[in-house]
Structure 1
């Protein structure tokens, strides 16, 4: 069985969204919540992992992250809703 790569989305305490890439969802989420993750999430803790996709190769996971990060918020929310995440999570 090969290594797994993940694109993930965090819901920050201020209801903003953060997309990232990792090989270990649990450890990466913990790192964000400890303040050692991305600069963006450091001041928006706690964060909650609300979505992830698994990929068999790093390139595909990074492409998914890039595509998500370069969308307006409304499109990010629509993407998540289309993948089964409840829209009420995002209301500010």
Structure 2
């Protein structure tokens, strides 16, 4: 996979959706305050959803589709997928 869409659960319970070519590195950037402006104000707790794509265009389309979902629909999407188990995927490990 060359591109990934991810959803972060933030400290206030909100979700942040993004895409990247390296999920672990991007999560560490979010945790260190070098990610999106949103995650600087709403620190991420964990990655709750990841899906891989062959190209950036497909990932960006999926990201846009997720961003149009309601919170309830995002929660259902997360519940339908297997739990994310990746090395160093908590804010403490990003330090």
TM-score bracket, normalised by the shorter chain, equals: 0.7 to 0.9
Listed as ranges, the matches of 1:8-87 within 5 Å are 8-85=6-83
The two structures, once aligned, show a CA RMSD in angstroms of 1.3
Aligned to 1:4: 2
Conservation of the 8 A alpha-carbon contact between 1:4 and 1:56: yes
Aligned to 2:90: none
Aligned length: 83
Structure 2: tracts of 5 or more residues without a match: 84-95
| TM-score, length basis structure 2 | 0.80
**Shift of residue 6 of structure 1?**
0.2
Structure 1: tracts of 5 or more residues without a match: 86-92
SS at match of 2:5: strand
Using the alignment, how far apart are the partners of 1:9 and 1:46 within structure 2?
10
SS at match of 2:52: strand
